[in-house]
Structure 1
Amino acid sequence: MRALFVVLKPLCFLALLGYCPSATIRPKEGWQVYSSAQDADGRCICTVVAPEQNLCSRDAKSRQLRQLLEKIQNMSQSIEVLNLRTQRDFQYVMKMESQMKGLRSKFRQIESNRRTLLTKNFQELKGKMNELQPLIPVLEQYKTDATLISQFKQEIRNLSLVLTAIQEEIGAYDYEELQQRVLGLEGRLRNCMNKLTCGKLMKITGPVTVKTSGTRFGAWMTDPQASPNNNKVWYMDSYTNNKIVREYKSVSDFVAGVESRTYNLPFHWAGTNHVVYNGSLYYNKYQSNIIVRYSFESGRVTTQRALESAGFHNVYPYTWGGFSDIDLMADELGLWAIYATNQNAGNIVISQLDPLTIQVLNTWNTEYSKRNAGESFMICGTLYITNSHLTGAKVYYSYSTKTSTYEYMDIPIHNQYFHMSMLDYNARDRALYGWNNGHQVLFNVTLFHIIKTDDES
């Protein structure tokens, strides 16, 4: 078995942050893949560093190569025009030379017979001079054209040197061949990205502040199950006494405050730990351990079910309180509920839920106190828990549902605005959405991936 290790680092918006994994990449099999959260228009930014580094910068080099070739072609056409005009002018020069020889002969005749021929030759000489007069500006233009041609030739020599250097750097491939290589690389990238489904959290960077609005506490989110063209944002201000969900068509509309629709939920929500998953909103009904599924398409509640034994109404909240007893979240593997029970001594319980019925599919008991957790989020079936909602917070503990094991970690998270009341992972964007003291923010996450090559045996 042969496996290839790749680090995936999502980058928010247009800020591409350099990061080089230490793993060795085989020339034809390895890829360093960096993907991102959405930008203000909902587009996903992705950068790939291919194994053959001399081809990585092909786009910029090819563009520069084409510009140089176009410039040389334009200059060659200009030189051809000047050359034709110079040949034409040269005809005038030859004619003038012949006429000047004739003038010299006339002058000799005048010298030999000044008296008899003076009057007649003077008139002929005057006529010849009048005929030669238009040639003077032609000669001046000829000199100018000759200088311009010399300048063009020198510039072409300089451009040829640059062109040669670029061809050597990119491997002397013509543009069509480079274009075919680009298409091949894009195909391999899509295949590679299809394999990037899960990974272990290695680092959190940011945040990027998307907007400042609302109260100190709230939630905002996108649907990780939505199609690539669906970039709707949902906004839920405050942790209680509210039933209004605001919808925006894109992140840019959200930033601009342009609402597309408003939903009035039938029940108040508790806390800020809601999630939108596959077109439905899942939230904790106020003063209960009931989970409500609300369909945005139909505008009504489709399912509601009690989470048995789960504490609610500030019995087992996160460190900041706010009725954050039940935390609903989604990752690559589905829908989850994070809560605590008396049976588990107030420690965190992880349950995977059926998105349609909200029935519990499986449950894991951890040994981490819910009241000592600042926030938590799921990535690839692993729960990551921060030790505080205040400054100095870090991811301190993780629990893998795949292996039913835990480990202590030390991954800092920059709490820029000093109070975190919501932190959720979005599997489509591969980013953390946060509500940080009235600021809606995004965090970059670095995940470690193991990508198997196609020719493994």
Structure 2
Amino acid sequence: MTLSVIVQLCALLTISQQAASLPGCVCDLTSSEQPFPHDKLSSVEDSANKCSSSITQQKSVELDSLLLGLQHRLPQLEADMSVLEREDDGELYGAVSLQVIENELVEILQLMNKLNSTTLAHSRLTSDTAQQVQDLKDEMQQLEVYDSMQVVKNQQANHRLKRDLDQCRNGHHPTTQPTQPASGNCPHGHFLNVTGPGVYTAGEYPGSYKYGSWGRDPKPEAGKENWYWLVMLTSSNVYSNYVRRYSSLSSLIIGVSVPGNVQIHSSNPTTNTIQGPSAVLYGEALYYCCYYRDAVCRFNLTTKSVTSVQLPKGTRFNSKGNFCHLDECYPYTDLDLATDESGVWVIYTTSQNFGNLVVSRVEEGETPTINQTWHTSLYKQAATNTFMACGVLYATRYVSKDVEEIFYSFDTSTGVERFDIGIQIQKMSGNMYSLNYSPTDQMLHAYTESHMVSYKVVFG
């Protein structure tokens, strides 16, 4: 019995060895399609990225800024010509007025030269980009031959349908509006939106000074209604000892400071010089955070004298109460100065209010005083900037490198707070280090990473 089993096992083993030694089944697959050119696709993607990076929003706004400067400058020249016609006696007055007009023409010529060079550069860029786009289109059409299942064509059709559907849905509301108009009793109406930017310029010192502030004097002296001012933190990105003046918007854009610097002190920094990027000009006086003090300084540009007002005990200063977002805090933004239709304000934090925003009204005078104070429930480090408009405090927060959002308001006349404003600002760079409202022309002036940017406030 055992012997027969062994014989059967031996026979099975022999058969299995013979079967294993048989050759395997091999199939030859011949495709009628050409191999997909992955290298060509990568080349097209690289070309498309380079093409996209060459066209930026900054380039278009730069041209708009130059045109806006020219638009403001020509009426001023016309007004000066009228003065010459009225005053010309062939001698003294005519010579003085002619000198003024000559200076005006020099600045206009500089503005025109910059405008022409910018336009020429943009024209070349447009021509080059158009050719690149056509080349990319031709290459993509060649690559579509490999899309035998027409996936790309179906995706394009779906994209067109989705775009048409979105336009149909949003046709009557192309711009996102806040849920309700922002509060406040304002002569211009309710704060509805922010448009722009209208001005975007690096001024005289492109990329040199990261932090600063700029704008217009809401209460200018006669003859200085069109002047602009600029404060740049020139020492360690923290301190400054002068304010720079410009006779017009075009002068600011092309970087010609005719009045020049008005110096607070020859040393920088020292007692009563500027600390931090927030400053405002009101009534020919500069208001700012005093060097290494929890106080607001007032520098009279005419008499060159400095006075100050002490803020309440417990006020955070010297970069201990800054504006912040998730990625970073803005150094030395403890005190935020602001102007609106009623005057000068200071926004800050105190230990008594647990780091929430405090708003105080700064009264005019050779020695400024604090008139009235309001306490809010907004934690300062949840915001990136504040400004005042018509007695209402507004706060912004960082959404992305392209978008800042006005999300909060506090009405000083009623004490009503809102956290649902929802007005977006299109940024030109990642961070806005100062933001101030100008009641003269209802503009927001922002200083953002060495550039000056302005936006139009829409009331209604």
TM-score by length of 2: 0.54
Q: 2:444 aligned with 1:440, yes or no?
A: no
Q: 2:324 aligned with 1:326, yes or no?
A: no
State whether residues 240 and 268 of structure 1, in contact with CA within 8 Å, keep that contact through their aligned partners in structure 2: no
State whether residues 239 and 276 of structure 2, in contact with CA within 8 Å, keep that contact through their aligned partners in structure 1: no
Cα distance in 1 for residues equivalent to 2:75 and 2:186: 19
From the superposition, tell whether residues 394 and 39 of structure 1 become closer, same or farther in structure 2 (CA, over 3 Å). Answer: farther
Q: 2:226 aligned with 1:215, yes or no?
A: no
Cα distance in 2 for residues equivalent to 1:317 and 1:43: 42
1:358 offset after TM fit, Å?
2.1
1:436 offset after TM fit, Å?
1.5
1:336 offset after TM fit, Å?
0.6
From the superposition, tell whether residues 37 and 400 of structure 1 become closer, same or farther in structure 2 (CA, over 3 Å). Answer: farther
1:256 offset after TM fit, Å?
2.2
| Counterpart amino acid of residue 332 in structure 1 | E
| Counterpart amino acid of residue 293 in structure 1 | R
1:37 offset after TM fit, Å?
11
Cα distance in 2 for residues equivalent to 1:243 and 1:278: 19
Cα distance in 1 for residues equivalent to 2:453 and 2:378: 27
Cα distance in 2 for residues equivalent to 1:203 and 1:37: 24
Structure 1 window deviating more from structure 2 (388-397 vs 332-341): it is: 388-397
Percentage identity across paired residues of the two chains: 27
State the structure with more CA Rg: 1
State whether residues 62 and 200 of structure 2, in contact with CA within 8 Å, keep that contact through their aligned partners in structure 1: no
SS of equivalent to 2:239: coil
SS of equivalent to 2:275: coil
* Match in the other structure for 2:362: 353
SS of equivalent to 1:371: helix
With a CA cutoff of 8 Å and minimum separation of 6, indicate the structure with the bigger relative contact order: 1
* Match in the other structure for 1:388: 398
| Counterpart amino acid of residue 260 in structure 2 | R
Pick one of 187, 190, 196 that aligns with 1:197: 187
| Counterpart amino acid of residue 362 in structure 2 | L
Q: 2:348 aligned with 1:339, yes or no?
A: yes
Cα distance in 1 for residues equivalent to 2:196 and 2:72: 16
From the superposition, tell whether residues 298 and 262 of structure 1 become closer, same or farther in structure 2 (CA, over 3 Å). Answer: same
State whether residues 38 and 429 of structure 1, in contact with CA within 8 Å, keep that contact through their aligned partners in structure 2: no
SS of equivalent to 1:446: strand
* Match in the other structure for 1:226: 220
Q: 2:226 aligned with 1:253, yes or no?
A: no
Deviation track 1:381-426 (CA, whole Å, cap 9, x = no partner) reads 0001001285232001100001101112111111121111011000
Pick one of 309, 314, 322 that aligns with 1:305: 309
From the superposition, tell whether residues 410 and 427 of structure 1 become closer, same or farther in structure 2 (CA, over 3 Å). Answer: same
From the superposition, tell whether residues 196 and 349 of structure 1 become closer, same or farther in structure 2 (CA, over 3 Å). Answer: closer
Deviation track 1:151-200 (CA, whole Å, cap 9, x = no partner) reads xxxxxxxxxxxxxxxxxxxxxxxxxxxxxxxxxxxxxxxxxxxx973433
Pick one of 295, 303, 306 that aligns with 2:300: 295
Q: 2:383 aligned with 1:373, yes or no?
A: yes
From the superposition, tell whether residues 342 and 203 of structure 1 become closer, same or farther in structure 2 (CA, over 3 Å). Answer: same
* Match in the other structure for 2:410: 399
The runs of at least 4 aligned residues of structure 1 exceeding 6 Å deviation read 12-15
1:234 offset after TM fit, Å?
1.4
Cα distance in 2 for residues equivalent to 1:389 and 1:287: 31
From the superposition, tell whether residues 211 and 341 of structure 1 become closer, same or farther in structure 2 (CA, over 3 Å). Answer: same
Equivalent residues in 2 for 1:443-454, closer than 5 Å: 443-448=455-460
* Match in the other structure for 1:263: 262
Cα distance in 2 for residues equivalent to 1:253 and 1:367: 42
Structure 2 spans left out of the alignment, 5+ residues: 1-60, 77-184, 266-271
Cα distance in 2 for residues equivalent to 1:39 and 1:447: 23
The RMSD of aligned alpha carbons is 2.7
State whether residues 62 and 201 of structure 2, in contact with CA within 8 Å, keep that contact through their aligned partners in structure 1: no
| Counterpart amino acid of residue 211 in structure 2 | F
Cα distance in 1 for residues equivalent to 2:393 and 2:186: 19
SS of equivalent to 1:255: helix
| Counterpart amino acid of residue 270 in structure 1 | Q
From the superposition, tell whether residues 402 and 412 of structure 1 become closer, same or farther in structure 2 (CA, over 3 Å). Answer: same
State whether residues 280 and 296 of structure 1, in contact with CA within 8 Å, keep that contact through their aligned partners in structure 2: yes
| Counterpart amino acid of residue 424 in structure 1 | N
Aligned residues: 266
| Counterpart amino acid of residue 284 in structure 2 | G
| Counterpart amino acid of residue 251 in structure 2 | D
| Counterpart amino acid of residue 287 in structure 2 | Y
Pick one of 417, 422, 437 that aligns with 1:425: 437
From the superposition, tell whether residues 198 and 13 of structure 1 become closer, same or farther in structure 2 (CA, over 3 Å). Answer: farther
State whether residues 352 and 361 of structure 1, in contact with CA within 8 Å, keep that contact through their aligned partners in structure 2: yes
Q: 2:73 aligned with 1:41, yes or no?
A: yes
TM-score by length of 1: 0.54
Cα distance in 2 for residues equivalent to 1:39 and 1:312: 42
| Counterpart amino acid of residue 299 in structure 1 | K
